[in-house]
Amino acid sequence: MLRQILSKLPRKSSKTDSAESARPESPSTQQISNGSSAGSGKSSNGPKRTSSVVFPASVVAGIEPLVPFKDVPSAEKMNLFVSKVSLCCVTFDFSDSSKNTLEKDVKRQTLLELVDFVAAGSMKFSEPAILAMCRMCAVNLFRVFPPNYRSNSSGIGENDDNDDPMFDPAWPHLQIVYDLLLRFINSTCLDAKVAKKYIDHSFILRLLDLFDTEDPRERECLKAILHRVYGKFMVHRPFIRKSLSNIFYRFVFETEKHNGIAELLEIFGSIISGFAMPLKEEHKIFLWRVLIPLHKPKSVGVYFQQLSYCVVQFIEKEPRLASMVIKGILKYWPITNSQKEVMFLGELEEILEAISMVEFQKVMVPLFWRIGCCINSLHFQVAERALFLWNNDQIVNLIAHNRPVILPIIFPALEKNALDHWNQGVLNLTLNVRKMFSEMDDALFLACLDQFREDEERQSVLAEQRKEAWQRLEQAASLKPVSRNTAVLVTPLATSIAC
């Protein structure tokens, strides 16, 4: 029985070798190889075989991949490059550091050699070399993150600072692959017209999927690579913008969970700075349907700096968009989240610094009504941040030119703070703003003060009338006999609970 089993082993090994050597010849088999390599790394025994078996069909016969580039003539260097890249298509399981240590080290040294060769830029890349390079990057980088990898996603909320990100154990190896891909795309020896056939829409989509990794180091590498792809392959620019929009749509309106929103917004910020004037309708739609709704998620604090930069970039490109942006921010204003209110007030200050007088007058009534509510906030940081707006000379100038409209809106909030706000810092800032308005237009200030006192008296009279009406109702109810189905009016004293 044992002899029969042993007699079958050579034939089984030869079948495995022939299947592996023919695997990359077709796109479908290559996709299967990608999936298996990302999942379990079962091909870890590959490097133990001879190099002629390990290499895909794209390897030139007779070229030994472990030979240094300096030891081959220039005519054979590109063939050696393809052989070395194909050698790196073999994947390993990095979760167990004790397995395949020798093979992993050989692959690492080969990748470092490739990085140096690409950085040297000594010769133009052939089409087989571009194909082999894209295939190797796909095998090593493109993978599906398991569900537990996203369980502590930063999309849950900005307060989840105690949840440490999960790092891929293969990162020291992946970092070299990312560095190689970045240098390859950035190389002057790469012909974009040829490379666009392999760095295509499918490749870009898989690249964008990787932004959901929890490892910030990987997201930084992806950000640099995607930026270079956008700059080098002009034919792919509309597709990249559309794909980014789809990721933002899914995040805002479906999941509210994604780890790479900040990096994607940072990329889009550099894209916005290159927009030609006047702005296309497509770009204005992106502002209204993507950037403004991105203020809504609870995790906005994670990417707020990049979001605010994108919004301000749009306004600097076309100042007429300022009023539309302010209306959108007021639409998504956080009523019960004080931290978000402070951030929104900071963004409003940046917008008001760039707004024109005409656009400001379109939104000043709802804007300062909301600022008045912030001034009266019991959270001292919100009230302070709202009052700090008067430290900005540009905003003060806008307010001074429109004080007949703004002061009557803001004056009740200032007076209520001056009378009974609990925080001394907020009280001092409020008194400074009142003094500023008084010096700006004393007659208008006194008129608003008289109007405020009249309104307060009117409110006091109405409150007294309501109190007397309830007393009459209580007295009438106490005189009426109680029957079985008659409602009983209970006095406040009867329901009060001692604290």
> Tell me, what's the pLDDT at 220?
95
> What are the pLDDT digits (tens) for 302-360?
999 999 999 999 999 999 999 999 999 999 999 889 999 999 999 999 999 999 999 99
For residues 88-93, give the mean pLDDT. 87
- For the range 20-25, what are the long-range contacts, defined as Cβ-Cβ under 8 Å and sequence gap of 24 or more? 20/46, 20/53, 20/54, 21/52, 21/53, 21/54, 21/55, 21/56, 21/57, 22/57, 23/56, 24/56, 24/57, 24/58, 24/86, 24/89, 24/135, 25/56, 25/57
> Tell me, what's the pLDDT at 8?
40
Instruction: Report whether 407 contacts 368 (CB < 8 A).
Output: no
> What are the pLDDT digits (tens) for 349-403?
999 999 999 999 999 999 999 999 999 999 999 999 999 999 999 999 999 999 9
pTM: 0.77
Question: Percentage of residues in the chain with pLDDT exceeding 70?
Answer: 79
- pLDDT tops 60 at residue 498: no
Distances from the Cα of 247 to the Cα of 117, 210, 216, 257, 450, angstroms:
35, 12, 18, 11, 54
Instruction: Report whether 185 contacts 199 (CB < 8 A).
Output: yes
Q: Sorting pLDDT into bands at 50, 70 and 90, what band is 448?
A: very high
> Tell me, what's the pLDDT at 29?
37
For residues 238-250, give the mean pLDDT. 95
For residues 79-108, give the mean pLDDT. 87
Q: Which residues have C-beta within 8 Å of that of residue 299, sequence separation ≥ 6?
A: 154, 155, 156, 157, 158, 256
Q: Sorting pLDDT into bands at 50, 70 and 90, what band is 122?
A: confident
Distances from the Cα of 475 to the Cα of 259, 463, 487, 494, 496, angstroms:
63, 19, 14, 14, 18
Task: Measure the CA–CA gap between 246 and 350, rounded to whole angstroms.
Answer: 28
> Tell me, what's the pLDDT at 175?
94
Distances from the Cα of 227 to the Cα of 66, 84, 125, 221, 478, angstroms:
33, 27, 21, 10, 78
Instruction: Report whether 394 contacts 385 (CB < 8 A).
Output: no
